[in-house]
Amino acid sequence: MNSMTGFGRATLLVDGLQCTIEIKSVNSRFLDLNIRSPKQVNSVEHIIRKCIQKTLHRGKVDIYVTLQDVGDRTKTFLINSALKTQIQELLVAEKFYATPQDAPLSAVMSISNDWVQVKDDEITEESLTTLITETTTNALEALIKMRQAEGIHIQQDLLQRLSKMSAIIDDINEHKTAAIVAYKENLRTKMMEFVENLNITVNEDRLLQEVAIMADKTDITEEIVRFRSHVVQLTNTLKKDEPIGRKLDFIIQEMNREVNTIGSKAMDITLTDHVVQLKCELEKVREQVQNIE
């Protein structure tokens, strides 16, 4: 399992052009990509998006792309002959030289060197594609390593909390019978007092039957069985090497539903205390799961 939080950076040099790509990801319900890149990358930006969509499944992902000319690329010189001739004619008109041909290049450049332009040869589409693809791949590998490392820490924490919740539910299961017996006795006593206050006669067997029916409604055996089943599901899911965040969300919702039902049926202070502990642990688990891909 992987966390959705991570950072990856890679730099690559191809044909004198250096590319640096940084990828940062944080929690998000879905995969949300935001690419910031220079206009030279517009034609191949889809490659970055495709690489990330193929690798990541959830998270808000910010990608920063920078291109830098390191000075090793082939240059192209462009001569503005009209401007050069115009400068030479100016030098003749000012009587520095007799004819335009007599004006040396040094004199022309002393006036202006705008007539000579140096331009980097444009990087080919193939080279740019290779540069962006490899840099993105390397940055993604670094990001995934960090997400995996974070995922391991989250997994260990969740497994510890599941173990703690299993212990709590075992305590609840151990105490449930005594709680039901105490509830029955308390309910029977109160009903007998109520009948005596009304000064009426009732069938004691019928009264005990009603007490038993009401007490049975507080039985939490089914909820305990389902909760334990969800713990097993959650534990097994945590060990899978695939995106599991949404499945974990669903399982935790079901676990929370069982705990709420146990809490509504609990007629004993000890059970109530255990339910509070379970809810606290479940909330911590839910917060952690929000960061799982």
The pLDDT, as a whole number, for residue 77 is 75
The pLDDT, as a whole number, for residue 230 is 95
Least confident of 32-41, 179-188, 218-227, 242-251: 179-188
Q: Are 144 and 261 in contact (CB under 8 A)?
A: no
Average pLDDT, the chain: 85
Confidence of residue 91 (pLDDT cuts 50, 70, 90): confident
Residue pLDDT, tens place only, 231-261: 999 999 998 888 899 999 999 999 999 999 8
pTM of the model: 0.70
For domain 6-72+124-148, which architecture applies?
A: 2-Layer Sandwich (3.30)
Per-residue pLDDT, averaged over 72-77, amounts to 68
The pLDDT, as a whole number, for residue 119 is 67
| Position 69 pLDDT exceeds 90 | no
Domain spans of the chain? 6-72+124-148, 75-120, 151-289
Least confident of 7-16, 204-213, 235-244, 272-281: 204-213
Residue pLDDT, tens place only, 129-151: 999 999 999 999 999 999 999 99
